[in-house]
């Protein structure tokens, strides 16, 4: 398999592969966070304190994983033609890219409803800025073919493929054969890409930008496409866009986070108040799922997500358990940790 993968890279079928060599155990840990947008109402604070300010309270937590993934919801650019067909448009300064790298991000998903806010030029600048800072990406590109290319990361002797898709408007942001944009989350494309990635990777992680903003429950189509993705071979589904938490589902031998909520996001919304960092341990399948509650209410944390402990952390866990009712998961406290019960006992799910 490794020889095939190297040949694929050499021939240009896969791009932007990051090798992180570690010796020892096969266990791989992934930390996943929600939407990242370091602009908007956050700009004055971040320009004053520096963009690394947004990650100062979570950097140590994120450093405890082999891979860190989040959804970048603003182009990193100073150029481009602004898309005026929707109410909110965002653009982040080039200084955001090194701050993201310093925070520990390995890969960012770009398939969302803001990455084309400043057109193809803004997207191209974003890709350049991320590459220049050693951050891999997926879900958007100069064409539909490029938007569907997975980001492949090697760590602990394992290959992990990341794919990302948008199921949000405007449809003008969807890539075409010769048009820059995002990978649309159409089921035939998604399943074909997952099956192809499954042939060359040990694990496949899929991000979806979907659902209704501020809705605490997934819509039926979210469940349908998530299940189809796992049926096709995905191990882990990461959802974004609602800006609030949605439930966690165990389906077959995969796990679905329907919405991780906001992470560092330049908004004054009072509804987007709590979020999580999800830490997933992979070892012959998903071995453990751990959750770290976050305060992301910006009038309190000033655009710097902070871990919640004690009763305030317990409140987030109770909220998540309510949202996950009927989804086959339950978060329990184990010492000072919050684990999905089915995996917290060390149960290892069988590989396909």
Is the distance from CB of 140 to CB of 123 less than 8 angstroms?
A: yes
Q: Please say whether the beta carbons of 312 and 272 come within 8 A.
A: no
Can you read off the two tokens belonging to residue 317?
């866990």
Please write the tens of the pLDDT for every residue from 72-124. Answer: 999 999 999 999 999 999 999 999 999 999 999 999 999 999 999 999 999 99
CA nearest to 334, candidates 301, 278, 288? 288
Q: Annotate 121-141 with DSSP letters as a single string.
A: HHHHHHHHHHHHTT-EEESEE
Whole-angstrom distance, CA of residue 62 vs CA of residue 65 = 6
- Structure confidence by residue, pLDDT tens digits, 205-249: 999 999 999 999 999 999 999 999 999 999 999 999 999 999 999
**44, HSE (Cβ side, Cα atoms, 13 Å):** 3
Average pLDDT over residues 156-171: 97
pLDDT of residue 11: 36
Is pLDDT above 60 for 328? Answer: yes
Q: Is the pLDDT of residue 25 over 80?
A: no
Euclidean distance between CA atoms 209 and 242, whole angstroms: 9
pTM of the model: 0.91
Q: Which domains does the chain have, with CATH numbers?
A: 2-344 (3.60.21.10)
pLDDT at 206: 98
Residue whose tokens read 């149960």: 347
User: In angstroms, rounded to a whole number, what is the distance separating the alpha carbons of residues 117 and 51?
Assistant: 21
Work out the pLDDT band at 293, boundaries 50, 70, 90.
Answer: very high
Spatial strand order in the sheet of 254-257: 18-20, 151-155, 158-166, 203-209, 236-240, 254-257, 248-251
β-pairing, 337-340 vs 286-295, is antiparallel
């Amino acid at each position: 398999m490794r020889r095939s993968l190297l040949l694929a890279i050499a021939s240009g079928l896969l791009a932007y592969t990051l090798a992180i060599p570690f010796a020892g155990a096969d266990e791989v840990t992934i930390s996943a966070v929600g939407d990242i947008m370091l602009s908007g109402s956050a700009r004055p604070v971040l320009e004053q304190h520096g963009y690394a300010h947004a990650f100062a309270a979570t950097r140590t937590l994120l450093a405890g994983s082999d891979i860190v993934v989040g959804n970048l919801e603003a182009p990193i650019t100073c150029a481009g033609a602004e898309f005026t067909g929707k109410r909110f448009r965002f653009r982040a300064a080039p200084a955001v890219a090194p701050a993201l790298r310093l925070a520990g991000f390995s890969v960012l998903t770009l398939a969302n409803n803001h990455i084309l806010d400043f057109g193809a030029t803004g997207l191209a600048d974003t890709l350049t800025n991320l590459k220049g800072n050693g951050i891999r990406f997926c879900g958007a590109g100069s064409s539909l073919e490029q938007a569907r290319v997975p980001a492949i990361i090697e760590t602990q002797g394992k290959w992990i493929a990341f794919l990302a898709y948008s199921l949000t408007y405007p449809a003008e942001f969807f890539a075409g054969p010769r048009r820059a944009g995002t990978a649309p989350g159409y089921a035939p494309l998604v399943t074909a890409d997952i099956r192809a990635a499954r042939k060359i990777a040990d694990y496949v992680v899929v991000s979806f930008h979907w659902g209704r903003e501020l809705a605490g429950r997934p819509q039926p189509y979210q469940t349908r496409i998530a299940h189809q993705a796992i049926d096709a071979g995905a191990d882990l589904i990461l959802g974004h866009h609602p800006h609030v938490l949605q439930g966690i589902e165990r389906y077959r031998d995969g796990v679905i986070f329907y919405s991780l909520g906001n992470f560092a996001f330049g908004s004054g919304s009072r509804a987007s108040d709590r979020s999580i960092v999800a830490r997933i341990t992979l070892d012959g399948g998903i071995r453990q799922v751990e959750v770290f509650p976050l305060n992301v209410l910006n009038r309190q944390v000033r655009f710097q997500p902070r871990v919640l402990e004690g009763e305030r952390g317990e409140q987030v866990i109770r909220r998540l358990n309510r949202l996950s009712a009927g989804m086959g998961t339950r978060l329990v406290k184990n010492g000072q940790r919050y684990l999905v019960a089915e995996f917290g006992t060390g149960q290892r799910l069988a590989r396909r």
